[in-house]
Structures are given as C-alpha cells and as structure tokens.
C-alpha cells in the first residue's frame, strides 16, 4: 500500500545520514573490525533516500587529507597487478580495458562512495509495490555520433546499442499531449511570481503579453524572435565567429540585439545546469551548440547554424541514466554481480553488491574506501596505495596504478608529483550541482497545465521537468499522467559577484553546508508555485525526495569566456596534468577536460595503454 511520507520522515532520513557519518557509517555496514570486505547480501545503496550523490561519509576523509591529515601505511596484506583509484565510468572502463589485455590480472578498484559509478548514480523508489528508477547524475549518452571510436566500441562491447533508443524513447509523447515549456518569473526581478506556459510553442506576441515584464521588454522579446535580422551585418562568417567567441551572450543580447534588461535577466540563468555560470560568462557562440539557435534568441539569422549538436535527438537515455553504463561495465567485469545478458534486462536486474569484493576474486571493486596516499616504493618497482576503509588505513601494493578520481585531488594523494604537474591537475575545479528527484503519485498537474518543463528565472532550483519517456526491457515509463513519476529538479549554486572557478569553489562549500531541509523547502515551495494552479499541494502530493549532491560535479571544460588561448596542445594544463608519472597514470573525465562519458572512457583507454607500455 502506498505510504504517505511526512515531513518528519524526510527530516529523519537526513538526520540518519548525518549522524551516521559522524559515527563512521561503515562500522554499521562492516562491523567495528572490517576483517572481510565482502558486502552483506542486503546491501543496496540505490534504494537509499535523503542526501545522496556525494553522500555524507564519502568526502570527509579526503577533505581531512586536503586539510593536512596523514595516515601511516596500514597492514599490507594484498598485492595487485593494477589498482585503480575511482570507480566511476572511467575507473570501471580502465579495469575493463586492462583486463582485455591481461585476462589473468589481479585488479582492485577503490571508491570512496557506498556505490560504484561515481556520477553515474542510480536512485530507486518503491511505489505501490513497484520500483521506479531515476538518474541521480549523468543522464544521457549525449550525441553518440560525436563519440570517439574507442568509447563507442566499448559501449557496444558491454551491450549498449544506441540505435535501439529510437524505439525505446517516446519522442512524441509530450508533444502529442500538447505539453509545453513554461517560465516561472520571479518576484524580485519582475515584481510578481508568475508561471507562463507555451515558451516556443505559442505565438511570441501571445506568450510575451502574459509575462510580468514591462511592455518594452515584451516587445523586445517578440522582436528578438520574429525579426529576421543579422545583428552583425557586414562581417564575414569567420569575423562573426571570432566576435561571438569573445563576447558573452548577455553582452551580445544587450549591445547588439539591444534587448531590455528584463529580457537579459530572463536568460541570465538559462544555462546554469549546463555551463553552471551566468550568461555573462558564456561566449555567445556557444549558444548555437546548446539550443540550435531556436530556443534562445538573436543568433538564428546572424550566424545560421551548420550541423553539430541538435542534429541528433537527446534520447540516448536509460531510466537510471548512465548508471546503466556503469552497471553493464560491472556485469562485464563481475558477471555474477548482475544477472542477465542484454542492455534491456540489465535495467530491472538487481545488482548483488556482495559479489563486488569477494575473497580470492581476481577483480575486486572495494567501496567506502578513500585513497589517501599513492607513492612508488623505494626501488620504484611498485606503487603502494594507502586507503581508509571503515575508519582504518590499509595499504595494498600494485605493479601499476591508475588514478581515475578527481584531478584536483591527485596532488594531495600523490605527493611526489612535480610542481608543474600538480598545477596542471589543480587547474581542474569541478563544477558543483545537484540533481533532486521528487517522487509524486501522479503527474496530473503537469498534464492539466499542459507543461513538461518549468524554468525558474531566479530561484533555488533552476528547473523542474518531467522524466524522460523511456521504456525498455521490463521497465515501463509512466506514460499516463495518473501514474507515479520521479520529477527532476536541478539546483546549481549561483553567485552574481564572483566569476570563474572561484564561484565553483564557493558553490562546493555552500552545497556541503546546505542541509536536506533546505533542499526540501525549495522543492515544496517551487512545485507549489509552478503547479498549484492545477490543484497540486506539496504537502500531500510528494511521496519521497532524494537529493543527489555533487559538490565535485562536471569536469572543468575550457569553453567559457575567460579561458586563455594556449599556444599548443602540450601547454594546456589538463594535458600537463595527465602525463604518466612512473608507474602511475591518470584517467577520468577531468583528464580530457570534458564533462562527458566519452572523455571518461577515452581517457581510461589512454591511461591503460600507458601502464601497459611502461
């Protein structure tokens, strides 16, 4: 029977997470002395709610390391051919590539979280005896046609056939139901909170007239979309590209399209879930790759687009996002951990966590284990990896090591690196964000209001959207508005007075300090704002909330306005940072300076080639 979750339940869930972290949560899982690493049969992190993502208990050891805590080498009772630090898609891919070449190798993967996959995180909810699946992090194989051959081949090797998503993803459902994109205007900027539906689907005059903007701003918005004007007349295509690359989108809209300040504010946070900065830091040229020039104004006639992102639909999505990629990798590495043999049957198969780290197995994935020191032995013939697990330091010896964690953490873990390489690694400040999943018993309010996505102009959550309509294997998407669904809400810390990586450092701190109750408050407040017109009441219409907090989220990517020009590939900080160091190589998406699966896989392939040839 469906159980109504009360506010008290949410708060209790959070208190359990925080309280447990103070008491070292692993003692609860492993007992006071973790003499075996094998997880118990009922260990199942996807079912956990409350604060997930980088959950409490996953980050404290590494932060203590950064603050100067050190651990002496622990008991050395295991030896491996390869130790991989980081069990995200990159670390798991590295294990896969290495084992392809060395089938009898002994490999250990260490990860500080209670689940594998890194950003590839699965969230599950039980509703009416059925499991609803959601993505807590990386959501889609975006534009697979642009993937490197090595990444595509690996995806195919583990059973992913991207073409099948053309059948599994219902591209027409929301359009056929007439569901549109809406904007929730904020009180501070526009004097009133107001939801206006039909962005991009109604005539612009009609849409603009309903907004709480001034009549000048309304007229400007209409003009920006309907006036077929080249705003950079007289320039060649190459000159336009150069200009639009050196100008922010905000400046372009203000100085060339001459839009009212209220319209500029409407777009200021539009790309927060993608670039994680305001539009005053995003080069105008980037907008073409983001919205095809169609949903954001001003560029369509100035620089008509040719190919690229947008040509391929955004449909390559498993119900748990790319957590399925991580699960399929684990199936390939440890077949007994995930029953079945196809991408379809993997979706609902229950992962047996007790198979990940079994005594005597050649390939072991050890969760809840933070690497704190990775150094060559005195004779340089091996690498000693010290990690903290269940509150105790332990050391394993490895012939080779791959760091598939975060670039910025590596200098603290590998103290022998040169200053130049440390600086290259530290350049990558990861971008903080959260993906919050909100379970509702039905999505009738969206259907009644004829909306699928709400963008909030200036609020805690930047957006709420319906789940992606994808069904495969035994898993069926909630196609009827009367079925339960996990809504997706995205929050990105925003600072209007700091730019560049400093804002991400500040955002990271802010995220870690934000209690679950704050996330919950904004979920309730913003859903009520958006949906109360159709009778939605957050007090009775929310059954569960899971906040996936990624204090270290997207890899840094060098596409923002303040990124310097580099004279050559080898001058790029991330290229300097990822150079092999003795028996240690560096994988992870940071090493490619690109927040995507392709980078995670391709960088692990390179790192494996390095350790094989060194």
* Residues near ligand FAD (CB under 6 A): 62, 85-91, 110-113, 118-120, 137-140, 142, 322, 370-371, 404-406, 409, 413, 433, 435, 550, 553-555, 588-589, 595-597, 600
Identify which of residues 70 and 245 has a Cβ nearer to ligand FAD in the complex.
70
Identify which of residues 15 and 21 has a Cβ nearer to ligand FAD in the complex.
21
Residues with Cβ within 8 Å of 454's Cβ and at least 6 positions away in sequence, in order, are: 181, 182, 183, 184, 195, 463, 464, 465, 530
Question: Cβ 71 to ligand FAD, closest distance in Å?
Answer: 12
How many angstroms separate the Cα of 548 from the Cα of each of 54, 135, 193, 483? 7, 9, 27, 23
Question: Cβ 64 to ligand FAD, closest distance in Å?
Answer: 11
| Cβ proximity of 263 and 213 under 8 Å | yes
Identify which of residues 50 and 432 has a Cβ nearer to ligand FAD in the complex.
432
Residues with Cβ within 8 Å of 33's Cβ and at least 6 positions away in sequence, in order, are: 390
CA angle 58, 70, 501 (to 5 degrees): 55
Question: Cβ 178 to ligand FAD, closest distance in Å?
Answer: 27
Identify which of residues 111 and 186 has a Cβ nearer to ligand FAD in the complex.
111
| Cα–Cα distance for residue pair 394/571, rounded to 1 Å | 37
| Cα–Cα distance for residue pair 540/122, rounded to 1 Å | 25
Closest Cα to residue 90, out of 291, 326, 318?
326
Question: Cβ 127 to ligand FAD, closest distance in Å?
Answer: 23
Question: Cβ 503 to ligand FAD, closest distance in Å?
Answer: 16
Closest Cα to residue 363, out of 85, 108, 99?
108
Question: Cβ 236 to ligand FAD, closest distance in Å?
Answer: 34
| Cβ proximity of 354 and 39 under 8 Å | yes
Closest Cα to residue 452, out of 477, 487, 482?
487
Question: E-strand spans in 367-430?
Answer: 369-376, 383-389, 392-403
Residue located via tokens 């994109």: 181
Identify which of residues 127 and 410 has a Cβ nearer to ligand FAD in the complex.
410
Question: Cβ 578 to ligand FAD, closest distance in Å?
Answer: 12
Identify which of residues 11 and 490 has a Cβ nearer to ligand FAD in the complex.
490
| Cα–Cα distance for residue pair 589/426, rounded to 1 Å | 14
Question: Cβ 274 to ligand FAD, closest distance in Å?
Answer: 9
Question: E-strand spans in 494-567?
Answer: 544-554
Identify which of residues 297 and 424 has a Cβ nearer to ligand FAD in the complex.
424
Question: Cβ 499 to ligand FAD, closest distance in Å?
Answer: 21
| Cβ proximity of 315 and 167 under 8 Å | no
Please state the separation of Cα 439 from the chain's center in Å: 19
Instruction: Report the chain's C-alpha Rg in angstroms.
Output: 24
Question: Cβ 104 to ligand FAD, closest distance in Å?
Answer: 25
Question: E-strand spans in 479-543?
Answer: 485-491
| Cα–Cα distance for residue pair 582/614, rounded to 1 Å | 8
| Cα–Cα distance for residue pair 614/611, rounded to 1 Å | 5
Identify which of residues 138 and 421 has a Cβ nearer to ligand FAD in the complex.
138
Identify which of residues 526 and 588 has a Cβ nearer to ligand FAD in the complex.
588
Identify which of residues 404 and 531 has a Cβ nearer to ligand FAD in the complex.
404
Question: Cβ 253 to ligand FAD, closest distance in Å?
Answer: 27
Identify which of residues 89 and 155 has a Cβ nearer to ligand FAD in the complex.
89
| Cβ proximity of 218 and 210 under 8 Å | no
């Amino acid at each position: 029977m469906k159980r109504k979750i009360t506010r008290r339940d949410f708060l209790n869930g959070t208190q359990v997470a925080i309280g447990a972290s103070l008491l070292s949560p692993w003692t609860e899982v492993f007992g006071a002395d973790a003499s075996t690493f094998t997880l118990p049969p009922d260990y199942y992190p996807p079912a956990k709610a409350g604060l997930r993502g980088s959950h409490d208990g996953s980050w404290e050891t590494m932060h203590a390391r950064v603050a100067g805590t050190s651990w002496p080498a622990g008991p050395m009772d295991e030896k491996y051919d390869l130790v991989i630090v980081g069990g995200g898609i990159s670390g798991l891919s590295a294990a896969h590539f290495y084992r392809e070449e060395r089938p009898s190798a002994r490999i250990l993967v260490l990860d500080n979280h209670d689940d594998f996959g890194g950003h590839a995180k699965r969230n599950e909810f039980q509703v009416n005896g059925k499991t609803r699946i959601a993505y807590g992090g990386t959501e889609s194989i975006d534009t697979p046609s642009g993937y490197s051959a090595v990444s595509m081949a690996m995806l195919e090797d583990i059973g992913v056939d991207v073409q099948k998503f053309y059948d599994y993803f219902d591209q027409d459902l929301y359009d056929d139901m007439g569901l549109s994109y809406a904007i929730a205007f904020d009180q501070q900027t526009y004097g009133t909170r107001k939801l206006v539906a039909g962005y991009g689907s109604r005539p612009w005059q009609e849409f603009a007239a309903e907004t709480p903007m001034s009549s000048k701003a309304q007229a400007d918005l209409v003009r920006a979309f309907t006036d077929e004007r080249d705003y950079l007349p007289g320039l060649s295509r190459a000159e336009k590209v150069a200009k639009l690359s050196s100008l922010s989108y905000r400046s372009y809209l203000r100085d060339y399209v001459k839009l009212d300040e209220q319209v500029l504010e409407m777009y200021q946070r539009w790309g927060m879930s993608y670039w994680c900065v305001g539009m005053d830091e995003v080069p105008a040229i980037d907008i073409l790759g983001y919205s095809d020039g169609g949903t954001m104004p001003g560029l369509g006639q100035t620089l008509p687009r040719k190919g690229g992102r947008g040509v391929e639909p955004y449909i390559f999505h498993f119900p748990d996002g790319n957590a399925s990629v991580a699960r399929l990798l684990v199936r390939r590495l440890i077949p007994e951990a995930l029953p079945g043999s196809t991408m379809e049957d993997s979706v609902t198969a229950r992962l047996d966590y007790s198979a990940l780290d079994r005594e005597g197995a050649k390939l072991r994935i050890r969760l809840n284990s933070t690497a704190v020191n990775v150094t060559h032995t005195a004779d340089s013939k091996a690498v000693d990896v010290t990690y903290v697990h269940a509150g105790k330091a332990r050391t394993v010896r490895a012939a080779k090591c791959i760091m598939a964690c975060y670039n910025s953490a590596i200098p603290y873990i590998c103290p022998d690196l040169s200053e130049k390489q440390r600086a290259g690694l530290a350049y990558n400040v990861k971008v903080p964000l959260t993906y919050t999943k909100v379970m509702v018993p039905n999505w009738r309010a969206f259907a009644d209001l004829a909306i699928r996505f709400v963008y909030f102009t200036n609020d805690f959550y930047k957006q709420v959207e319906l789940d992606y309509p994808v069904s495969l294997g035994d898993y069926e998407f909630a196609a009827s508005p009367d079925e339960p669904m996990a809504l997706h809400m995205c929050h990105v810390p925003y600072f209007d007075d700091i730019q560049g990586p400093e804002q991400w450092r500040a955002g990271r701190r802010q995220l870690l300090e934000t209690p679950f109750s704050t996330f919950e408050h904004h979920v309730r407040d913003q859903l009520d704002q958006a949906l109360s017109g159709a009778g939605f009441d957050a007090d009775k219409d929310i059954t569960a909330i899971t906040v996936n907090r990624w204090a270290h989220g997207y890899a840094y990517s060098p596409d923002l306005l303040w990124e310097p020009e580099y004279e050559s590939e080898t001058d790029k900080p991330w290229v300097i940072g990822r150079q092999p160091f003795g028996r240690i190589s560096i994988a992870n998406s940071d090493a490619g300076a690109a927040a995507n699966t392709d980078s995670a896989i391709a960088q692990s392939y390179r790192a494996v080639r390095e350790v094989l040839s060194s």
